[in-house]
Amino acid sequence: MTQPPRVVVVGGGLAGLTAAFRLSQASSENKKTTVSQVVLVEASDRIGGKLCTERTSGFVVEGGADSWVPRTGEVESLAEELGLAHQITPAVECSVRAYRRDNRGLMPFLAEGGSPVGRPSSLLSNPALSLLGRARVRLEPFVPRRVKGEDESVKNFIQRRLGARAYREIYEPLLGGIFGGDPAELSAQATLAPLVQIEDDGGSLIRGRGTRKNDSNTARPPILTFSEGMSSLAERLQGSLGANDVQMSTRAIRISRDSGQWVVRMDTGAEERCDAVVMATPVSAVKDLLSEPTDLQESVPEVPSARTTVVNLAYPNSAVSRSLDAHGYLNGHGIGDGVSACTWSSAKFEHRAPPNQVLLRCFIRVAPDAATDGGLESPKEVVALAKDELAGSLAITDAPIQTWVHSWSVPVYRVGHTQRISDLRARLTEFPGLHLAGAAYDGASIEAVIRSGMRAARAIHNSDILQETL
């Protein structure tokens, strides 16, 4: 071996951390193959991206993702490798329920059968769906399939297969809250991939594979988290890397090719020469960083984002007169002054608040392609919006004991997203050693992001470039 291989990972969110972790280990295909050093560079002063937990005064406060829905097992497997499995804990039983807030107040929304996003058969017992809507859902097995491979909007997909009432009464408020965009513009292939695959395979959404009541996934708890917060995963991933291999507050400003190697230049003036690069960044950063060749920029698609501000508020139990008997509620169309949903965190998970106190979190969403951060409301303004929301929904008029404000962006997958990203990856094959990972490309769920990081690491482990350096 002449020169040990070297990899730079740009971006310290979950995808970048996962890729760095896997690259720092022996490849599963070749136990003798190791990457001698992985350098991870993160522009901010913290790692974890949307995994952002604050632990203070007995509260476990999530600024980003607070849980995951276990479908394929990536999170659990990774936690096991990291010695974190003992922290995996399910949400409390009531968390399978939720409400929808409309002009009549809080109305039952999710049935015990689970979310209609992952289990459309639950629509048949969903109290929020009208009788006519349920009757239409029962006709779904007889709906002809679309042309395989063609993308369409989430709105068109749901209306075509399940009916306009199911879309308007159930999916519109639910999907808008989850994905941060207009379902009329969101890509069905990218945001509802499992359901689209069922149709592609010739199945019915309410009878097909992955939706039956006897499916093996039903044995799993519907929602999982880490007892000490979701940042536990990011912290453990960072801890698996060498102390000198994670460079915080270091922004990559240019990535170029030189003498058969990649050169990553930093805003500090330093540069890293390496055999491979993982860009675990938003799509816009790919265009900004890859200045050469110039025609590559034309191959980089636009992936807009939706800005979400999360306001956590703590109250004494005495301030809340209503029983918190669900994981929270979604606001229906035209309800809530910029607030899309509210999670009752201390009811959803145990040990999120001290005894005799409650923790609630409101989501304040800014439309895709909105102005930059400077145009967003100030922390004082978004806290005021959240307080007004809780006064209207839960009749809470007391001042909160404490508040926390966090903001983050989620990619918005518009129709054709999957094909555009596939085309981009095909173009990047002309540049050996350059790989993409993250929510901007392969899905925004915790499982999808981990899978994306693993994919990039596996591609490098199996690459000719890596083998040539050994």
**Mean pLDDT within 8-16:** 97
CA angle 208, 183, 381 (to 5 degrees): 130
| Best CA proximity match to 363, nearest among 375, 345, 347 | 345
Residue 157 has pLDDT above 70, yes or no: yes
* Whole-number pLDDT of residue 211: 43
Q: What is the CATH number of domain 6-49+230-303+414-469?
A: 3.50.50.60
Tokens of 257: 């090719």
Residue 432 burial by Cβ neighbours in a 10 Å radius (0-12, 13-18, 19+): middle
Distance CA 423, CA 159 (A): 29
What does the pLDDT look like over 381-440, one tens digit per residue?
999 999 999 999 999 999 999 999 999 888 999 999 999 999 999 988 888 899 999 999
Q: What is the 3-state secondary structure (H, E, C) of 393-416?
A: HHCCCCCCCEEEEEEEEEECCECC
At residue 307, φ and ψ (nearest 5 deg) are -90, 130
Q: Which residue has the higher pLDDT, 29 or 383?
A: 383
Q: In which band, very low, low, confident or very high, does the pLDDT at 334 lie, cut at 50, 70 and 90?
A: confident
**Mean pLDDT within 42-46:** 94
Mean pLDDT of the chain: 87
Distance CA 22, CA 241 (A): 10
Element at 55 (helix H, strand E): strand 53-56
Return the percentage of the chain with pLDDT > 90, whole number. 57
| CATH 3.40.50.1820, applies to 115-217 | no
Which residue type does 446 have?
I
> CA dist 61 to 234, 250, 347, Å?
15, 27, 13
Which residue type does 208 have?
G
What does the pLDDT look like over 256-315, one tens digit per residue?
988 889 999 999 999 999 999 999 999 888 888 987 666 777 788 899 988 889 999 999
Buried b (16+ CB within 10 A) or exposed e, 255-268: beeeeebbbbbbee
What does the pLDDT look like over 65-116, one tens digit per residue?
999 989 889 999 999 999 999 999 999 876 568 898 988 889 888 765 567 8
Distance CA 259, CA 423 (A): 27
Contact between residue 50 and residue 64 where contact means Cβ atoms under 8 Å apart? yes
* Whole-number pLDDT of residue 277: 95
Residue 218 has pLDDT above 60, yes or no: no
* Whole-number pLDDT of residue 37: 82
**Mean pLDDT within 338-344:** 92
Q: In which band, very low, low, confident or very high, does the pLDDT at 353 lie, cut at 50, 70 and 90?
A: very high
* Whole-number pLDDT of residue 242: 83
Question: Is the Cα torsion angle 187, 193, 196, 200 positive or negative in sign?
Answer: positive
What are the residue ranges spanned by the domains of the chain?
6-49+230-303+414-469, 115-217, 304-411
Contact between residue 281 and residue 438 where contact means Cβ atoms under 8 Å apart? yes
Tokens of 82: 């990291």
Provide the CATH topology of domain 304-411.
Polyamine Oxidase; Chain A, domain 2 (3.90.660)
- Asked, as a colleague might, if the bond just before 293 is cis with ω within 30 of 0, I would say yes
Residue 212 has pLDDT above 80, yes or no: no
